[in-house]
Each structure stands twice: as C-alpha cells, then as structure tokens.
Amino acid sequence: MLKIGGIEMKNQVVLAPMAGVCNPAFRLIAKEFGTGLVCAEMVSGKAIVHGNQRTREMLFVDEREKPLSLQIFGGDRDSLIEAAKIVDKETNADIIDINMGCPVPKVTKCDAGARWLLDPNKIYEMVSAVVDAVEKPVTVKMRIGWDSEHIFAVENALAIERAGGQAVSVHGRTREQLYTGTADWSHIKDVKEAVSIPVIGNGDVSSPEDARRMLDETGCDGVMIGRAALGNPWMLYRTIQYLSTGELLPDPNGEEKIRVAILHMDRLIALKNETVAVREMRKHLAWYLKGLKGSARIKDIIMEGTKRDEMVQILEDFVGRLKLEGNLETEPVAAGNAS
C-alpha cells in the first residue's frame, strides 16, 4: 500500500489536485468511491498569509475526506513557509503538498509552479525550508521538466528527497506540453529507481488498465488520476477494484450518473450559495452527461441554468426519456489525456 510519512492509504489510487474541481464537494465523492488519497486544489501561499476569506475557505477539510493532501504554491520563500505553517497548525489536512508542476503563465511568471523545474538547488532550498517549519509530511507534485531540452526529473526528485520531502508525484509531461501530446512514463520509472521515497505516477491514466500498466512499467507506488475522473468518479472506483482483484467493473448507467451529479451539486450548494454553485456545476454536469445518448441536446440548456431545482428537473426529465427509449447505458467515450 501507499504510505507517506506515517500516513497509510488503503490503496494506491490518488485523486489529482485539479484547480476549480477538487473542492470538498467533489473530493468527498471521490473518497466515497474508495480513493486512497484525495488532493485539494492548489492554493496561493501569499493569499493564505494575507488571510483572504475565499482562500481560507479553500482550506476547509471535511473529516470524511481524510487522508487528504492540501497543495500550496508560491515563489517567495518566506510567504510559502508562513502558508505551510498555517496549513500545518490551522487545518486538519494530513499532508502538505508543494506545487512545482503548474504550467500556466500567471503562476510561472511569479517564479512558482513549474518554474522550479529549472533549478534543483531552488527546489532543495524551498522544500527544506518548508519541511523544517512544519510537522505534517511534505510532498511535491512536479512535471518531468520545463521543456524537452530541460528535463531534470531525477535531479529534482533527488533534491526533494534530500530536503526531507516524504513523497513525489511525477506528471510525465513537460511544462511546454501543457496537457497535449503523450506523457512519457520512462522518466517516472527513472525517478522511482533514483529515490527511496514513494513515487506517484501521473499522466495519461484514462482507464483502470492504464493504471495497472503504469504501476507495472514504472514501478511507482501510487497512481494519480486527474481529468479521467471529471464527471466520472466511477473511474476511481473501477481502478481500485481492477488493481486489487483484476475485475473490470462496468461503467455506470445514465440514472446512476445523474444521481451522483445531483448529489455533487447539492454538496456544492451547501458549501457556496446556490447562484455560485449552480454556475460552477454547469461544466461538471457536462462531464457527467458525457457518453449518454442524446446528451448534446441538453448541454446547451444546462449552460443557461441558474437554479438548482431547474437543473434537477432538466436532468430527471432527460433520464426519464432515456428510460423510455431504453438508452440508459453509457456509450464508450475517449477519456482524452488524463491529467
């Protein structure tokens, strides 16, 4: 099993820390589907230190989600340390994760996220400073490199280990690739062979079979699933079952997908107000509807929805039609490149 510091997960499946997705509403569903470790979306270290109300709300952890990893990012050493101390003492997260994989310019231009990938010395300095300041285990999520000319995956992982990091998650793409192209798992294998801390593999895990192949090909200790779980927490459950028993469970039918989608929406409304939650749920509902026959017709309607009851009515009417037509089964959908 996957173990980080003194925290033992019940399996090797990890939910990736996806921005705008991994709030408590979705994380709790992922946990209920059996996920060994769930990761919260990244939070700015400076915003934590400045006490921004919305940011502080992002630090909330439901006890039912645990074990949970809370991810912070930043390029300023002092604010990152202070933010880590706040997460350490004022939240019930189990693990503090440092982001050095985010490729978006607004993060990298602040000398944060994937920008660190160019400098193993900075990685050592920043990670060791955070490790020294907190009691919770510190981990890092990184990409294999900045671009194809600057892949320092092994050097960077060794710096993390030397600094006292308790685990490293490796996404098999460079910053330059963003989420395009193919993840190169060979670098994940190289990292696993170079360090003694747990290594979690990430990138192009779009099916339970992909997860099994990643573990076999790289020797990594855990598998991180991102975009393949959007609107599809069954991917997490099916992967857990496949890794433990070899049994490939069927995809959910339309009725089950809509039931969980409504649960997701109601939990989001409980966290935020109805207007904000329903607007945020539009993209999630489009993901939940993926693969259901005729769903394209109602996605446009959903994108205009503003009320919870209105959304539920649309979804339940849609499922009712599917039942009448005998079209409840989910059609195969290309999962795309999982994050």
Whether residue 227 is annotated as binding a ligand: the answer is yes
Whether residue 282 is annotated as binding a ligand: the answer is no
Whether residue 213 is annotated as binding a ligand: the answer is no
Whether residue 85 is annotated as binding a ligand: the answer is no
Q: What is the 3-state secondary structure (H, E, C) of the chain?
A: CCEECCEECCCCEEECCCCCCCCHHHHHHHHHCCCCEEECCCEEHHHHHCCCHHHHHCCCCCHHHCCEEEEEECCCHHHHHHHHHHHHHHCCCCEEEEEECCCCHHHHCCCCHHHHHHCHHHHHHHHHHHHHHCCCCEEEEEEEECECCECCHHHHHHHHHHCCCCEEEEEEEECCCCCCCCCCCHHHHHHHHHCCCCEEEECCCCCHHHHHHHHHHHCCCEEEECHHHCCCCHHHHHHHHHHHHCCCCCCCCHHHHHHHHHHHHHHHHHHCCHHHHHHHHHHHHHHHHCCCCCCHHHHHHHCCCCCHHHHHHHHHHHHHHHHHHCCCCCCCCCCCCCC
Determine whether 102 is an active site residue. yes
Whether residue 226 is annotated as binding a ligand: the answer is yes
**Residue tagged active-site, from 22, 39, 102, 220:** 102
Whether residue 25 is annotated as binding a ligand: the answer is no
- Residues annotated within a binding site for FMN: 17-19, 71, 141, 171, 226-227
The residues annotated as belonging to the active site are: 102
